[in-house]
Amino acid sequence: MRTRYVNLRIPTEGNDTDSVELVVEDGRFEEILPADSETAAGDEHWVNLDGALVLPGAIDGHVHFDDPGFTHREDFASGTAAAAAGGVTCVVDMPCTSLPPVTDTDTLENKLKIIAPKAHVDYMLWGGVSGNMMTDSRWRKKLSDLVDSGVAAIKIYMLSGMDTFRDLTSGEILDVLEQTHRLGIPVGVHAEDSSIVDELTRRAAERGEDSPRAYAASRPPAAEASAVLAVIEACRATGARVHIVHLAAGEALDAVSAARFENLPISAETCPHYLEFTIQDFERLGSVLKTAPVVKGEVDRERLWQGLVSGEISFVATDHAAGRWPEEKETGSIWTDYGGVPGVELMLPYLYSQGFSTGRITLQRLTELVSSEPARFFGINHRKGFLRPGYDADFVVFDENDRWTVRASTLHNLNRYTPLEGRELTGRVRATYVRGQSAFERRLDGSEFFAPAGTGEWVRRGLV
């Protein structure tokens, strides 16, 4: 079946848009033609989008959907429904917050079997290497098989906090990077210096401190910067492609930027909460904004926005990680409250509103940050991340002028809370299409449509 979407605009250069028609067949863009190219419908199905802005589907490169194992926090059905409602047509799920963690082909297959019937949007899966595996002499073989199976990238931690997926020592990191360099796959690093954080946490506990300010002080910018410098040296020593996940500190970005200037193969992502909030907000909001890394200062926040504009930061991802609400977020102590915020549904509207509408980033840069750059990083830029003929017809119909107020109760993930509660945003997702199929629609009467679970497909790294 051939469908022609007419009366719409797509981003071109800067803030410009072109009026075009999108012809979709067999889940792909068949043609992208100037407006009014065709007058006779023939046997095509026509859809009039009333002049709406159409964006490439967003790719959230960093989500924790916790399935299987921690489905009281999120599961793949609720997580991908939230993604669809937020204009995210492909999520890349982390290996560390499901049980068993995805560290070999058996655990990968087990996870795929469980999540496939639940997916509302397409998905890729990170593989991981944890400290728990390092005593197994077969870890190199397991890693190599995992990469051959088509995982998106490999995740490691310098500071984990999870018994089921422990962090690596500096020596182990060098070992892993030697392997990934050989295998030709990037490594995402949670970069915080465990010796700094552990020591400062211990001292705060000794003093009996228990506040957002104390938690933030235990994870200072220096902990991030020190870890990033260590990653850069490991990158230099091995030549491995590395990526700093959820970068939050200005100093850490300075270090990444200097390394990129030397042509080292390193990149970074940041998250909406680091672009929006500071420690002052954390003191005001409490655990609802507890994350690791923690939000930093106003100077850091401004530096991150600057990094998005300049290209020093490659893309934005959410680090979507929801704890059971309110139980795990209100344990009575900042130290035991769950660290993580849901975000997949708000990434695109947030960046459109606070990035593009405020004039900080262009429309073109917006689509790079959430679509084309993550597609490039995960090796799927030959089929996703762009509105181009031959590409998967993943796209979002966006209401540019819809001013709306974020309410956690109207989100679609399992545990509904957000530090953005009450925030007014300009621009909202009206409909989301995955490979030409409607995945989500917000109708004029306020009702919502979701395609059945199981319509999302697994996307392997690099495959045509």
Q: How far apart are CA 91 and CA 412, in angstroms?
A: 15
Q: Which residue is nearest to Zn ion (CB)?
A: 319
Q: What does the DSSP assignment read for 259-304?
A: HHHTT-SEEEEE-HHHHH--HHHHHHHGGGG--SSPP--HHHHHHH
Alpha-helical (H) ranges within 46-104 are 76-85
Piece of 33-41, 119-127, 318-326, 433-441 that binds Zn ion (CB under 5 A) = 318-326
Tell how many helices (H) and how many strands (E) occur in the chain.
14, 17
For Zn ion, the closer CB: 50 or 163: 163
319 binds Zn ion (CB under 5 A): yes
Please state the closest distance from residue 87 (CB atom) to Zn ion, in A.
21
For Zn ion, the closer CB: 124 or 361: 124
167 binds Zn ion (CB under 5 A): no
Please state the closest distance from residue 339 (CB atom) to Zn ion, in A.
10
Residue 132 contacts residue 122 (beta carbons within 8 Å): no
Give the total of residues touching Zn ion (CB under 5 A): 1
Please state the closest distance from residue 90 (CB atom) to Zn ion, in A.
17
For Zn ion, the closer CB: 55 or 321: 321
Piece of 69-77, 270-278, 314-322, 324-332 that binds Zn ion (CB under 5 A) = 314-322
State the angle between helix axes of 170-183 and 139-148 in degrees (0 to 180), rounded to the nearest 10.
40
Parallel/antiparallel/unpaired status of strands 2-11 and 127-128: unpaired
Please state the closest distance from residue 228 (CB atom) to Zn ion, in A.
16
Please state the closest distance from residue 84 (CB atom) to Zn ion, in A.
21
Piece of 44-52, 75-83, 230-238, 317-325 that binds Zn ion (CB under 5 A) = 317-325
Q: Which two tokens stand for residue 2?
A: 């051939």
Q: How far apart are CA 51 and CA 326, in angstroms?
A: 42
Residue 295: how many other CB atoms lie within 10 Å? 27
For Zn ion, the closer CB: 312 or 319: 319
Please state the closest distance from residue 190 (CB atom) to Zn ion, in A.
7
Residue 192 contacts residue 156 (beta carbons within 8 Å): no
66 binds Zn ion (CB under 5 A): no
Piece of 26-34, 198-206, 315-323, 435-443 that binds Zn ion (CB under 5 A) = 315-323
Measured in whole angstroms, the distance separating CA 217 from the mean position of its chain's CA atoms is 26
Please state the closest distance from residue 155 (CB atom) to Zn ion, in A.
8
Where on the chain is the footprint of Zn ion (CB under 5 A)?
A: 319
